[in-house]
Amino acid sequence: MRWYIGRRLLQVIPVFLGATLLLYALVFLRPGDPVAALGGERGLPEAVQEQIRERYNLDKPFLVQYLLFLKGVFTLDFGVDFRGREIVDVIAGAFPVTIQLAVMALIIEAVFGIGLGLVAGLRKGGIFDGSVLVISLLVIAVPTFVIGFVLQFLLGVKAGLFPVTVGRDPNFESLLLPAIVLAAASFAYVLRLTRTSVAENLSADYVRTARARGLTRSRVTGRHVLRNSLIPVVTFLGGDLGGLMAGAIVTEGIFNINGVGGTLYQAITRGENVTVVSLTTVLVIVYILANLLVDLLYAALDPRIRYA
Amino acid sequence: MPENIDVTGARRDQPRRGQEHFVAPVDEGGLGAVDAVSTTQAPKSLWGDAWAHMRGNVLFWVAGAVIALVVVVAVAPGLFTSIGPRACDLSQSLSGPAAGHPFGFDFQGCDIYSRTVYGARASVVVGVLATAMVVVIGTIVGAIAGYFGGWFDTLLSRLTDIFFAVPLVLAAIVIMSLMSTRTSFTVALVLSLFGWPQIARITRGTVMSVKNNEFVTAARSLGMGRVGILLRHVLPNSTAPIIVYATVALGTFIVAEATLSYLGIGLPPSIVSWGGDISKAQNSIRVAPEILFYPAGGLALTVLGFIMMGDVVRDALDPKARKR
Amino acid sequence: MTTQIPLTGQEPETQGAAPRATDQPLLEIRDLEVAFSTGAGEVKAVRGANLTVYPGQSVAIVGESGSGKSTTAHAIIDLLPGTGKVTGGSIMFDGRELVGVGRKTMEDLRGREIGLVPQDPMSNLNPVWRIGTQVEEALKANGFQGTKAERRERVAGLLAEAGLKDTERRARQYPHEFSGGMRQRSLIAIGLAARPKLLIADEPTSALDVTVQRQILDHLETLTSELGTAVLFITHDLGLAAERAEHLVVMFKGRVVESGPARQILTSPQHPYTQRLVASAPSLSARRIEEAREAGVESVELLAQHADADVEKVRSEDAVVVAKNLTKIFKIRGSRPGASTDFKAVDDVSFTLGRGRTLALVGESGSGKSTAANMVLGLLEPTSGSVEFDGVDVARLSAKEQFAFRRRVQPVFQNPYGSLDPMMSIFRSIEEPLRLHKVGSAKEREARVRELLDMVALPESAMRRYPNELSGGQRQRIAIARALALKPELIVLDEAVSALDVLVQAQILELLGDLQRDLGLSYLFITHDLAVVRQIADTVVVMQDGRVVEHASTDEVFEHPKEQYTQDLLAAIPGRDLDLGLVPPAV
């Protein structure tokens, strides 16, 4: 087990370096000069441009720039953005609400996805199964942003059940509808995965043997069918945390939440490359860590992995 | 082995009730030649088998009809409407259905029906292009990693991990915002650039399990080369999961394109697309929510068609799932 | 061997040879009908089966795959897979009708009254729970009252009873840390945990090595007779059934074709199917040859084709394959870096295969027999030592020479489902070697494929079919036809008949014998089953843990085994001690 964790941790290093380098290259190697574009139509005086270039290491070779950036990541010193704000502060301001939103969405999709998926899987081929499956297909087919403002319009504007926008002061209540919207697509995937997994496990040999030794149906379902079916589902859920945070860009836009998505979007439109790279790097780190966590959780759920 | 055939101890001369020597009448058993080949049924390949299975599935026909319709609309939108999508008349802004304009007009006074019809092309082109590129890249990377193993595998697997570590939508947003020219092709390119790791992983896994089959060893014993075996035996047997995934992926790429266009960094306004129209419709949702319905409906129907087809194909190609 | 643990809680009333119960059947199945509903309608899996088991008695259902034997067993405890349903007849257990009882009643009955030891120890234990937990479940579900400590003690006791050592530690381990035999012992512990009156043993050992099989069956027998448990064996092996049960029920295509006292069925089978089965069971034919030899009968029919094969003589005569001090070492990657260990899969193995002869490499799993075969095939390079084919070292061939070598040596593998490319038609599969080696024109190749199909007794119409349409035996014939396509001199048969049903197995063995005689082929026959060896091989090499244990002519190995391990293997052939009574005892 110790070696399994060790090996897994070692694998994270090249992935982290590769992914950040990739993003960094994409943002900074693009044609055009962001500094020259800073002052609008007229442009900044040459001397000021030079100063900015020096300050952001833009005068140095690309790889050096990247390494300096990495150093910044590890020392939590991302520098300041073009408007003079500490990027660490920007990150600290943006992430909490997005994390809260993503975690709420994760809980929603896990609870409803697993719950409905379990029932559908146990009654595969029945009416409940059929209708749940159709709903899940519809939820996947309709894009998040459509679900987003349709629900916003129907439940928020028309019915008045939820706050229409979140704004400056996010709380549990105002984040609930956005979390449901964010969770929708993943919920359908969790449901379908649980359903298949449960149906597959139901006909596993060890389930029959468990029944043969006289266990009641509920115990067989809980201890053998569900327990084993959760292994792939948990893997999906863990990997999805990062996806939810990235996907929150759309949801945050609809509900006017000042999270990572909004900040990133603004930074992109303003051409603040340092901010874009810093935010995406943190997102990638979250994504990689979530996947690492999944692997460790996987080992905890499946004893066979521990000794592999 | 001790002679203890009778566990109860007492050796009986007479069998007990219900255990007398019984022989079934011979004709009843229908004892034929051992292991005869059926000569009545027509030969069926795996694909033929899958096709026969699909044909009997209602969902296949529904999904097939939807896909066919969408593709025809995408190829020849002129067949369905004579009004151009850009023939807009601001005076008609937001007015309801009228003769010749069954869906009414949008904010800019364009015919919604026409725009919905013309919007199909962007979605289909991006979906098909992105899927094709993803399948090519993913299959090559996955097959090489899985089949040759060793350093190839380590290197390519890490590369796959790296691209996998960047969420698709995030990467697409970052790159698309940097693109100076945006066309259906660039959108598809960006989506496939970060969309291939899934297929690579699937292919790698399948190839690794297929290459352990005895028919592969048999081919080696015939003197067939490694590349020959990969192309003639391993890849053809690895296609099923790739096809299933590709069908579903097509749907998700269409959604991704719409999301980018909705955010304003996908297709430019000059290309008619459902995503762009949804984005515009959102502005007038409070006064005319029905405008949203048509492009969103077209999009949902298309995606639904592909996802359903993916389900049908999976059922048909996976004999394990079919049994139940 | 084991100490019996006192039973707590409710003791079954009918125990052991209690006189009251012996005349009252414990299980009585009458006219049982089981059907599976498929897309194409109902498929009947069991048709009018009758079966009676008395308390404490052992009964066996014998049949090939698809005979309905397992379905019958599962119908008893209402565990039919998928859409299976009892559509008629009755199952009386201990005076109660079981067909149509509610789920609750059945749950009470399972484990407590009727236990099950399933077939495949690898898939029947839940991989995510500890062994102890799974045994404990069986106790808790069946009304075991007691504290946690008492339960744990009882679990250890049950595992010890099933023949496991160091049970405290074993109970805390997970299934994947157990060997196949240990898992099967755990399953026996689970099956007997609540002291059922009837134990259904569904092919309880067919997935295990023969010597382990023997031990476990012996143990199960002692245990159930101590507890007075009736056992219903489900098996494909007539020899095993006859050895373990007093009453046999032979099933074929869902019907009971013959049933009666074990000895009677074995010595005078009445139904043609049973007759065929008795004639084909390898364990029995090996025994038959034995009896014949004991009686001094040297009949050609009984002794098949193998002539007097003297090991020394083969060495001097024309040898096709000479393996010299063959050794193969694999590096096993450890759980931590740098912890890789060397594993000697094949250790200093030498043997000689004479032209037109059959040499059998016999051993249990992990004996290195398949690794040795792969070195003969030139698919693996030996770490040291050499394989000479027709006087030339196989490992030192140039690419061109190797390609030529491939024409002369062909394999046939065990798994009839994996050895043919499912995407290729039978024609393309057989034609592939011809095309690869550029033999003949398209027309000539087609003619050759027809000829080959004829050789393996398959109709030409099979050419257009695909592997998924054929049975296991037919696929194996195709694999043989493909191997023969290039007119090789040596065929390596790696467990080539092990996965087949008895009758089909007999057919394929016969086919192999005919082909050898007609084409002068040499066979390297890899198997775990000594019984089959008796019918086909001239020379036997017994392997254990990568080493050669014994190397002698087949008759010598069977009649005068020198090594303990060979004797163990021989003793493990089911039915070896049966008196078939086919030949009158020697005077």
Joined tokens for residue A232: 């792939």
Is C418 domain-assigned?
A: no
For residues A121 and A202, give the distance between their C-alpha atoms in angstroms, rounded to a whole number: 9
Three-state secondary structure call for residue A95: helix
Contact B300 A250 (CB under 8 A): no
User: Which of B156-160, B210-214, C171-175, C309-313 has the least mean pLDDT?
Assistant: C309-313
> Are B217 and C413 in contact, with CB atoms under 8 Å apart?
yes
Q: For B13-34, write each residue's pLDDT tens digit.
A: 567 887 888 888 875 444 555 5
Which chains pack against B, by 3+ Cβ pairs within 8 A? Answer: A, C
Domains of chain B: 49-323 (1.10.3720.10)
- Asked if the C-beta of C189 comes within 8 angstroms of chain A's C-beta atoms, the answer is no
Question: Contact, A256 vs A165, CB < 8 A?
Answer: yes
Q: B162-196: per-residue pLDDT in tens?
A: 998 888 888 888 888 777 788 889 999 999 998 99
Distance CA(A47)–CA(A52), nearest Å, equals 9
User: What CA–CA distance (Å, rounded) separates A166 from A252?
Assistant: 9
Residue in B17, B35, B46 nearest the CB of C466: B46
| Nearest residue on chain A to B286, alpha-carbon basis | A153
Whether residues C215 and C339 fall in one domain: no
Find all residues with CB under 8 Å of B48, minimum gap 6, and list them: none
pLDDT at C580: 64
The chain C residue lying nearest A301, using CA atoms, is C128
Read off the pLDDT of residues C124-159 as tens digits, 9 standing for 90 and up: 999 999 999 999 999 999 888 888 899 999 999 999
Residue C163 has pLDDT above 90, yes or no: no
- CA of B214, closest CA in chain A: separation in Å? 25
pLDDT at B275: 87
Task: Write down which chains contact chain C via at least 3 CB pairs under 8 A.
Answer: A, B
Residues C367 and C246 in one domain: no
Return the number of other C-beta atoms located less than 10 Å from residue A210's C-beta. 28
* Closest Cα in chain B to A21: B162
pLDDT of amino acid B28 = 46
Q: Which chains neighbour A (Cβ–Cβ under 8 Å, 3 or more pairs)?
A: B, C
Q: pLDDT tens for residues A34-45? A: 666 666 666 677
How does pLDDT run across A89-128, given as a tens digit for each residue? 888 888 999 999 999 999 999 999 999 999 999 988 889 9
User: A100 to chain B, minimum CA–CA distance in Å?
Assistant: 19
Contact flag B18-C243 (C-beta cutoff 8 Å): no
CATH of the domain at C209: 3.40.50.300
Q: Count CA atoms closer than 13 A to A307's CA, side-chain side.
A: 10
C18 and C106 share one domain: yes
If phi over 0 gives left and psi between -120 and 50 gives alpha, with beta otherwise, what is residue C254?
left
Same domain? For C186 and C93 the reply is no
Residues of C in contact with B22 (CB under 8 A): 50, 256, 258-260
pLDDT digits (tens, 9 = 90+) for C202-244: 988 877 888 888 888 998 999 999 999 999 999 988 888 888 8
Find chain C residues with C-beta within 8 A of B237's C-beta: 421-423
Tell me, yes or no, whether C328 lies in a domain: yes
* Two structure tokens written together for B107: 């904010």
- Looking at CA atoms only, how far is residue B45 from chain A in angstroms? 26
- C-alpha C456/C-alpha C458 separation (Å) is 6
Residue B263 backbone dihedrals phi, psi, to 5 degrees: -75, -10
For the segment C262-275, the average pLDDT, to the nearest whole number, is 89
Q: Rounded to an integer, what distance in angstroms lies between the CA atom of residue C502 and that of residue C142? A: 39
Chain B touched by A176 (CB under 8 Å): no
∠ at Cα A71 (A65, A77), nearest 5°? 105
Q: How far is B139 from chain C (nearest CA, A)?
A: 18
Most confident of A80-89, A137-146, B315-324: A137-146
Distance separating alpha carbons of residues B202 and B247, to the nearest angstrom: 14
For A88-306, CATH gives: 1.10.3720.10
Q: Is residue C143 less than 8 Å (CB to CB) from chain A?
A: no
In a shared domain, residues C160 and C263: no
Contact (CB, 8 A) for C221 and C40: no
Amino acid (1-letter code) at residue C53? V
Alpha carbons B2 and B323: distance in angstroms, whole number: 45
Please check the confidence at residue C4 and state whether its pLDDT lies above 60.
no
What whole-number distance in Å separates Cα of residue C409 and Cα of residue C401? 13
Instruction: Give the nearest partner residue to B20 out of C225, C260, C576, using CB atoms.
Output: C260
Assign C586 a pLDDT band (cuts: 50, 70, 90).
Answer: very low
Q: Does C367 share its domain with C498?
A: yes
The closest of C391, C61, C358, C378 to C231, measured between CA atoms, is C61
Residue finishing a domain among C195, C224, C251: C195
In this prediction, residues B126-134 reach a mean pLDDT of 95
Output the 3-class SS for A199-222.
HHHHCCHHHHHHHHCCCCHHHHHH
Beta bridge partners of A80: A86
- pLDDT tens digits along B40-88: 666 677 788 788 888 888 889 999 999 999 999 999 888 888 887 877 7
Mutate one of B22, B40, B211, B242 to test the C interface: name it (highest C CB count within 10 A).
Answer: B22
pLDDT exceeds 50 at position C309? no
Query: Of the candidates C380, C433, C385, which has an alpha carbon nearest to the alpha carbon of residue C408?
Result: C433
Which residues have a Cβ under 8 Å from the Cβ of C67 and sit 6 or more positions away?
Answer: C251, C252, C253, C254
C335 inside 8 A of chain A by CB: yes
- For an interface test with B, which of C233, C244, C271, C389 has the most B Cβ atoms less than 10 Å from its Cβ? C271
Percentage of residues of chain C with pLDDT beyond 70: 88
Angle at the Cα of C139 from the Cα atoms of C135 and C144, rounded to 5 degrees = 155
* C434 lies in some domain: no
Q: How far is A253 from chain B, CA to nearest CA, in Å?
A: 9
What is the C-alpha to C-alpha distance for residues C546 and C53, in angstroms, rounded to an integer? 45
> Where in chain A are all domains bearing CATH 1.10.3720.10?
88-306
Does residue C448 fall inside a structural domain?
A: no
Q: What is the DSSP letter of C584?
A: P
Would an 8 Å CB–CB cutoff place B15 in contact with chain A? no
Q: Do the Cβ atoms of C65 and C500 come closer than 8 Å? A: no
Tell how strand C114-117 and strand C547-553 pair up.
unpaired
Residue C528 scores a pLDDT above 80: yes
- Does B9 score more than 50 pLDDT? no
Domain holding C12, by residue range, is: 2-113+196-267
A98 near A248, Cβ under 8 Å? yes
Residue C20's pLDDT is 43
- Cα angle B218, C206, C122 (rounded to 5 degrees) comes to 80
**Cα separation of the two ends of chain B:** 44
| pLDDT of C97 over the 90 cut | yes
Q: Which amino acid is at A124?
A: K
Q: Is C41 part of the contact surface with chain A (CB cutoff 8 Å)?
A: no
| φ, ψ dihedrals at C552, nearest 5° | -160, 175
Interatomic CA distance for residues A188 and A141, integer angstroms:
10
> CA C384, CA C465: separation in Å to the nearest integer?
44
CB atoms under 10 Å from CB of B100, counted, come to 10
Tokens of C338: 């740098």
Determine contact, residues C124/C188, Cβ cutoff 8 Å: no
Residue C301: predicted pLDDT: 44
The predicted model gives A266-277 an average pLDDT of 81
Report the residue count for chain B: 324
Mean pLDDT of chain A: 85
| Contact: B161, A153; criterion CB under 8 Å | no
Question: What is the predicted pLDDT for the residue at A34?
Answer: 64
- Looking at C169, C195, C221, the residue that finishes a domain is C195
pLDDT for C11 equals: 41
Distances (CA, A) of B179 to A110, B170, B185, B260: 37, 15, 12, 13
pLDDT at position B2: 42
- Under an 8 A CB cutoff, do B45 and C28 touch? no
**Are both C316 and C363 inside the same structural domain?**
yes
Mean of all residue pLDDT scores within chain C? 85
Q: Residue written as tokens 């005569």?
A: C317
- Cα–Cα dist C276/C295, whole Å: 23
- Tell me whether residues A269 and B177 touch, CB distance under 8 A: yes
C187 touches chain A (CB under 8 A): yes
**pLDDT for the residue C15:** 42
**Are the Cβ atoms of C141 and A307 closer than 8 angstroms?**
no
Q: What would the pLDDT profile of B253-272 be if each residue is shown by its tens digit?
A: 999 999 888 888 888 888 88
Find how far residue B109's CA is from the centre of its chain: 37
Residues of A with Cβ-Cβ distance to C194 under 8 angstroms: 213-214
In a domain, C428, yes or no: no
Q: Does residue C34 share a domain with residue C99? A: yes
- The shortest C-alpha distance from A183 to chain C (Å) reads 29
| Chain C residues 59-118 with CB within 8 Å of chain A | 77, 79, 81-82, 103, 107-112, 115-116, 118
- The strand pair at C539-544 and C230-235 is best described as unpaired
C254 three-class SS:
coil
Of the candidates A6, A216, A303, which has its C-beta nearest C128's C-beta?
A303
Task: Give the tens place of pLDDT for each residue, C337-358.
Answer: 666 788 889 999 999 999 999 9
Chain B (228-267) residues lying within 8 Å, Cβ to Cβ, of chain A:
251, 255, 258-259, 262-263, 265
C315: pLDDT confidence band, cut at 50, 70 and 90?
Answer: very low
In the prediction, which pLDDT does B253 show? Answer: 92
Is C581 an 8 Å CB contact of chain B? no
User: With an 8 Å Cβ cutoff, is C355 touching chain B?
Assistant: no
* C69/C62 Cα distance (integer angstroms): 7
Contact flag A145-B259 (C-beta cutoff 8 Å): yes
Domains: count for chain C? 3
- For residue A297, give how far its alpha carbon lies from the nearest alpha carbon of chain B (Å): 18
Residue C102 and residue C217 in one domain:
yes
Looking at the structure, do residues C381 and C493 belong to the same domain, yes or no?
A: yes
In a domain, C421, yes or no: no
Name the closest residue on chain C to residue A206, using Cα atoms: C124
Residue with tokens 């993503």: A102
Return the higher-pLDDT residue of C337 and C542: C542
Q: Do B300 and A268 touch (CB under 8 A)?
A: no
Predicted confidence band at A247 (pLDDT cuts at 50, 70, 90)? Answer: confident
pLDDT of residue B319: 57
Half-sphere exposure of B140 (CA within 13 A, CB side): 5
Check whether C498 has a pLDDT greater than 50. yes
> A240 exposed, middle or buried (CB, 10 Å; 0-12, 13-18, 19+)?
buried
C493 is a domain residue: yes
* Mean per-residue pLDDT, C476-503: 90
Confidence of residue C304 (pLDDT cuts 50, 70, 90): very low
Which residue blocks in C55-166 are alpha helix, DSSP H?
Answer: 69-76, 103-109, 131-141, 148-161
pLDDT at residue A85, as a whole number: 80
Whole-angstrom distance, CA of residue B314 vs CA of residue B194 = 24
- C453-471 average pLDDT score: 86
How confident is the model over B209-238, as pLDDT tens digits? 999 889 999 999 999 999 999 999 999 999
**Predicted interface score ipTM higher than 0.90:** no
CA-based R_g, chain C, Å = 26
Q: Six-digit token pair at B40?
A: 């009545």
Within-domain flag for C53: yes
Token pair 């006289």: residue? A214
Are C128 and A208 inside 8 Å of each other by CB?
A: no
- Quick check: pTM over 0.90? no
Cβ distance A304 to C176 less than 8 Å, yes or no, reads: yes
